[in-house]
Structure 1
Amino acid sequence: MPHSSSNDTVNTPIVLTIAGSDSGGGAGIQADIKAISATGSYACSAITAITAQNTLGVSAIFPTPLEHVEKQLDAVFTDLNVVAVKVGMLADSSIIKVVAEKIKRYSPKFLVVDPVMVATSGDLLLEQSAITTLKSELLPLADVITPNLPEGAALIGCDVPETEQAMADMITELRNLGAKAVLLKGGHLEKDQNSNDLLITANEVEQLSAKRVETRNTHGTGCTLSSAIASYLAQGNDLSSATALGKKYISEAIAHADELNIGSGHGPVNHFYAIQAGNR
């Protein structure tokens, strides 16, 4: 059973991120830990793959041996009171199955799945068989999944939408994936002045809008948003509020991204903009 301290004066919500490591620090586990920490929760992790990565791209991926993924998950769940779990990069079907099995066994209150399947280049990162496993084993357990437009299209087998109407046409099939909610992110519709996301629940569709920021420093935005949502859920917010708070956080982190000068490619967002502003 998770250990509970006799001193209840500090009860920080604990969020577990299950994802790949980004050696450049902008995305993956590193972005997740920054986002969870910056939004006021405690971050712990299980690493599913080690990438050799920087702001210019990924040069190698080494999947964590399956047994070690299991041991990390057991170690965290048997000791820490994990309230919310965020799942990011899962390299193959076997890791997806292990993660789904552990989620069922330990029953965290909230599960946020960011289905990392399509690279910025448009290349599929998951084999088709792994996408099938993701859809059958993990997505139905999720409180919310957070696909961008290429990922949403890959999940339901349609063309990547290029208009808001085409985005809206995906709603019914996305609901059929079985998650309690879907946050379909419209950031790829670059002609639009605003970045509009759709929070799709069983009976409603809510639009979340933020002004589009011109910056090339957007590495890790998906990881950061999904982690922030998990963090805000763990703190007791309902899904609509947690999503709105997460959208506000990532929008500010993007707006302040150019205050950082990291690498020569697509740099990271500024996870700690609020702390830096407080130190000025």
Structure 2
Amino acid sequence: MPHATALTPGLPEAAALLDGTVARTREDMREQGMALCGMGTRAMLTTFTAPRHRTCNTYGTGCTLSSAIAAGLALGVPLELATETAHSFVQQAIAAADGLQVGSGHGSLHHFHAVWE
């Protein structure tokens, strides 16, 4: 973890990294985030809030968020702005996801929402 610029684990992933239980409160999340930072990473995304979209098409949100942050960092964008931009992108992809009719079961985000309806 000392080589990581930032970690974006989901609640079960954070618990597994710490050999602990899944966080249930914001305070638990903050404590786990601090513990993970104590393992050497420079930054930890613990909570980020947004309006909830009523959709089942949220498959891939965590991977999309971390990839979008990494893409911003690769372009030289500061971490805070890269995270805000990535979060906005994920929220837009969730909002547009119901219009994407591919596959079956729990659907994915609409990653190309800005260029393909």
**How does the TM-score come out when normalised to structure 1?**
0.40
Match of 1:240?
80
1:228 has 2:68 as partner: yes
Q: Deviations over 1:207-252 (max 9, x none)?
A: x321121211111111111111111112221000001100110111
**SS at structure 1 position matched to 2:59:** coil
Task: Give the counterpart letter for 2:10 in structure 1.
Answer: N
Task: Give the counterpart letter for 1:247 in structure 2.
Answer: H
1:165 has 2:27 as partner: yes
Correspondence list, 1:1-280, <5 A:
139-184=1-46, 197=47, 208-276=48-116
Q: Deviations over 1:30-71 (max 9, x none)?
A: xxxxxxxxxxxxxxxxxxxxxxxxxxxxxxxxxxxxxxxxxx
Task: Give the counterpart letter for 2:6 in structure 1.
Answer: V
- C-alpha displacement at 1:276, in angstroms? 2.4
Structure 1: gaps spanning 5 or more residues: 1-138, 185-196, 198-207
Aligned residues: 117
Structure ranking higher in strand proportion: 1
- C-alpha displacement at 1:165, in angstroms? 2.3
Structure 2: gaps spanning 5 or more residues: none
Q: Deviations over 1:171-220 (max 9, x none)?
A: 32111121111123xxxxxxxxxxxx2xxxxxxxxxx3211212111111
The separation in 2 between residues aligned to 1:152 and 1:175, in whole angstroms, is 11
Structure ranking higher in helix proportion: 2
The separation in 1 between residues aligned to 2:33 and 2:41, in whole angstroms, is 12
**SS at structure 2 position matched to 1:145:** coil
Give the greater-gyration-radius structure (CA).
1
Question: Deviating runs (4+, > 3 A) in structure 1?
Answer: none
The separation in 1 between residues aligned to 2:27 and 2:5, in whole angstroms, is 25
- Identical-pair percentage: 45
Task: Give the counterpart letter for 1:271 in structure 2.
Answer: H
Q: Deviations over 1:76-100 (max 9, x none)?
A: xxxxxxxxxxxxxxxxxxxxxxxxx
